[in-house]
Amino acid sequence: MSKSLHCYIYKSPRKPETYLFVLQENNFTVVPAALLEALGEVEKVMDIQLTPERKLARGNARQIINDLKATGFHLQLPPDKKPEPIGPLIDEKHMK
């Protein structure tokens, strides 16, 4: 039987699709000040009960639980965006 962990999820108004998971509601004392500043005034999205087997839309529940236990928070970043093509940036004479 897996142990579950209750956590709270907040979204960043400055960083789209960036979420901060913490163990205690509205308690960000474990989150580095520079990170909090970069995220802006986070807004609570939900609280959930995590288990290692839980399927999430994004992210791995087991990794999130490990981060929460180790540091008291987990930062979920946006999915990788497709990089811009660099072809037009390269001068044709350098391609020879």
In a domain, 95, yes or no: no
| pLDDT above 60: residue 10 | yes
* Structural domains of the chain, count: 1
What digits encode the pLDDT tens for the residues 18-48? 999 999 999 999 999 999 999 999 999 999 9
29: containing domain: 5-76
How many residues in the chain? 96
Beta-ladder partners of 74: 21
Q: Which of 65, 69, 58 is nearest to 30 (CA)?
A: 69
Q: State how far the Cα of 6 lies from the Cα of 23, in Å rounded to an integer.
A: 7
Residue 72 burial by Cβ neighbours in a 10 Å radius (0-12, 13-18, 19+): middle
- Classify residue 69: in a domain, yes or no: yes
CATH number of the domain bearing residue 50: 3.10.510.20
pLDDT of residue 71: 95
* Confidence class for position 96, pLDDT limits 50, 70, 90: very low
Residue 87 lies in a domain: no
